[in-house]
Amino acid sequence: MIVPVTGVFAAVIGILLLVLSAQVVKFRLKYKKGLGTADDQDFEAAVRAHANLVEYAPLGLIMLAIAELNGVASGLIYWTGMALVVGRILHAFGMINGRGGTHWARMIGILLTWLAILVAALLLLWNVWQVYG
């Protein structure tokens, strides 16, 4: 049992997590602060971009992996995973560059993320219905 398509998306999200973690560490070193954000808007945006990835990406990846293991067509897994990954990258970009405020990339990113999770949920339900009718 392997999940090569989901594996690639997990690798990309893992790299994004490290990039966002480095942003948080940069501010923690700057302010010598292990907890909190020193009332710095950019620091808060970096923490939230990192946290938001951790909140959404695991569920999306787990759903993709289950769908792939259950035999859902790899093309559907691919496009759903692309929406998840692009959504997470856009959201992080918008969160950091918008300094936590409204930013086009943040909005498109969360919509793509929600869409990917919704599609993954529907694919899983459809797959179960096809198998167990």
Cα 10–68–109 angle (5° rounding)?
Answer: 45
- Taken in order 28, 31, 34, 40, the sign of the CA dihedral is negative
Domains of the chain, residue spans: 4-132
Give the integer Cα–Cα distance in Å for 67 and 42: 37
pLDDT above 90 for 15: yes
The structure tokens listed for 47 are 């923490």
- Which of 104, 97, 103, 65 has the alpha carbon at shortest distance from 84? 65
Give the integer Cα–Cα distance in Å for 81 and 10: 9
- Which of 58, 52, 38, 36 has the alpha carbon at shortest distance from 95? 52
Q: What is the pLDDT of residue 79?
A: 98
Question: Which positions ≥6 away from 57 have C-beta within 8 Å?
Answer: 13, 17, 84, 88
pTM of the entire predicted model: 0.95
CATH number for the domain running over 4-132: 1.20.120.550
Q: What is the pLDDT of residues 40-99, one digit of tens each?
A: 999 999 999 999 999 999 999 999 999 999 999 999 999 999 999 999 999 999 999 999
Q: What is the pLDDT of residues 99-111, one digit of tens each?
A: 999 999 999 999 9
Q: What is the pLDDT of residue 19?
A: 98
36 confidence band (pLDDT: 50, 70, 90): confident
